[in-house]
Amino acid sequence: MVLALQGPLVALDSSVLARFMPMHLLLDAGGRVQSAGPTLARMLSGTPLMNARFEDLFEVRSPGGAVTADEVLARAGHRFRLIARNGVRAGLRGLGQRLPDGQMLLNFSFGIDLIAAVRDLGLTDGDFVATDLAMELLYLAEANSAVTRELRGLNLRLEGARMAAEEEALTDPLTGLRNRRAADLVLERLCLTQKPFGVLHMDLDFFKSVNDTLGHPAGDFVLEQVGRILREELRAEDCAARVGGDEFLVLLTSRIDPHVLQGIADRIIQRINQPMAFGDEQARVSASIGIIRSPDAQTDDPVKLMALADRALYAAKDAGRGRAVLLVARAPGAP
Amino acid sequence: MDALMLRFLQGYVRETFGAPVWQSVCRRAALPVETFEPMLRYPPGLADDVAAHAAAVLGRPADTIWEDMGTYLVTSPGHEGVRRLLRFGGVGFADFLHSLEELPGRARLAMPDLDLPEIHLTERAADRFVLECRSHLKGTLRVMSGMLTAMADDFGTLCLIEPAGDDRISIRVLDQDHAAARPFDLARPEE
């Protein structure tokens, strides 16, 4: 491709050429190197450049099928892409022109491989001309990564704050157990997934008298102790919640064996029955527990299930305090 | 802009004087939080307010605190990124000074809503510059002056840098090659 000449001819000696185009390659008509810009020479260092043939230095990636410089210029419309044969990872893209005297002038840029080239070749700002946007690209890459890192940090901090707030919204601050809201959510999820589970609905006996005789701090102390007992007697996957003043709800995922449920409830009551030393005083409370199993209830309505758990708790209270009673019944209104 | 200044102030005070000092600054300023997020927005002018409280807690003028913070930003290893971004501006200190006019544009490339103050540099002579920088924050000019001092050091240039009025800094280059410049590698260090 030879352009029709227009306007005055400009003669540039090789040093001016090198200054304006530090990545140029000037080839003779046969495609042998006559001169190379300093940055390109740096990239090809280790290879003798003068009179080297273009195709020995570069592998043409596009236009496809071109091997020699002549073919590249004949086929490439706007740009061509090369990689050096000396193993440098960064590719080159370029533009070329056959000059009136038959020489071929090619000029290159690293394009998007700039960052790899700078690292691999140890380039400095002296390797780029002032008109090149290389510095801006490097700057942008670093600024971008700083912004991304900052955003990632912000996301992590916000996520941490969100989780802490969530945890706080679901926790009973006095006992460290879950609260009513959390228990409702877990119950709803268990009902939705239709996996079998057991429910212990527990109410403390004689709690009011502790409050009345020893004062509210003693009452709080008892609640804390009950929280500790529940945590110790249950698995991490179970949900133990304080859902009212001295009312607790335990949801036991995948546990419906009557003996197992009865055993857990009895153990909890037995431990709560132990006198709790509050300063010089002994706080004595007990607990009644109503037990139900989701398969017996035959409903996936949390409200109906809770009504049934209530009935089980009243049955336990009626049977005399300090007992756990398993109620095998359908939920009210269940089919 | 306030967010960035507050975040840097927080980092500077915590790292230099300890977390409890920063806590007392926040408490004194009656701030609802003790952590500022550089990507969030805060009421304009808050950075100056907080700096005034920091001045009271530390017993030194806010101007000095801002200047020291500017120096800290360039010299602290934890903020190597800041120094690197500034060094991209030029091969020598004068080059770098001229590049500051492009700084807001460069910053906008990375973060379009970061409104860095416009900077205008006048070259009075080869060794005399006046940098003009208008910001709604009083601290900005002092931070800039601290950063310039540290960057001059980075380039190994001996300078006299002093604020000249509310929105100008006068810079006199005494010895361009006073010391060896700190090395600057275009390739980012591996993390």
For A60, A82, A112, B78, the CA distances from A91, given in Å and listed in that order, are: 10, 6, 9, 34
Chain B residues with CB inside 8 Å of A140's CB?
106, 109-110
User: Nearest by CB to B39, which of A119, A140, A150?
Assistant: A150
Q: Do A136 and B91 touch (CB under 8 A)?
A: no
Nearest CA to A250 out of A226, A273, A283 is that of A226
Chain A residues with CB inside 8 Å of B109's CB?
136, 139-140, 143
Q: Do A139 and B88 touch (CB under 8 A)?
A: yes
Give the chain B residue nearest A126 (alpha carbons).
Answer: B91
**Residue type at A11 in one-letter notation:** A
pLDDT above 70: residue B32:
yes
- Strands A286-293 and A324-326, by their bridges, are parallel
Confidence at residue A112, expressed as pLDDT on a 0 to 100 scale = 86
pLDDT band at A335 (very low <50, low <70, confident <90, very high): low
Strand partners, A58: A84
pLDDT tens-digit map of A291-302: 999 999 888 899
Average pLDDT of chain B is: 92
A151 touches chain B (CB under 8 A): yes
pLDDT above 50: residue B3:
yes
pLDDT tens-digit map of A45-64: 888 999 999 999 999 998 98
DSSP string, B103-138: HHHHHHHH-TT--PPPEEEEEEETTEEEEEE--SST
Chain B residues with CB inside 8 Å of A143's CB?
85, 106-107, 109-111
pLDDT tens-digit map of A201-240: 999 999 999 999 999 999 999 999 999 999 999 998 899 9
* CATH code of the domain made up of B75-175: 3.90.1520.10
User: Nearest by CB to A135, which of B88, B110, B111?
Assistant: B88
Q: Do A125 and B91 touch (CB under 8 A)?
A: yes
Q: Which domains does chain A have, with CATH numbers?
A: 14-137 (3.30.450.260), 180-326 (3.30.70.270)
Q: Do A146 and B37 touch (CB under 8 A)?
A: no
| CB proximity under 8 Å: A 83-142 to B | 115, 118-119, 122-126, 135-136, 138-142
pLDDT band at A124 (very low <50, low <70, confident <90, very high): confident
Chain B residues with CB inside 8 Å of A42's CB?
none
pLDDT tens-digit map of A305-325: 999 999 999 999 998 889 999
A67 touches chain B (CB under 8 A): no
pLDDT above 70: residue B191:
no
Chain A residues with CB inside 8 Å of B39's CB?
150-151, 154
Closest CA of chain A from B130, distance in Å: 24
pTM confidence score? 0.71
Confidence at residue B143, expressed as pLDDT on a 0 to 100 scale = 95
Q: Which of B79, B80, B186 to mutate to test the interface with A (most CBs of A within 10 A)?
A: B186
CA B119 – CA B133 distance, rounded (Å): 5
ipTM over 0.85: no
pLDDT tens-digit map of B33-50: 889 998 888 999 999 999
Domain with CATH 3.90.1520.10 in chain B: 75-175
| Helix A258-273 / helix A216-233 crossing angle, nearest 10 deg | 150
pLDDT tens-digit map of B93-103: 999 999 999 98
Q: Do B106 and A143 touch (CB under 8 A)?
A: yes
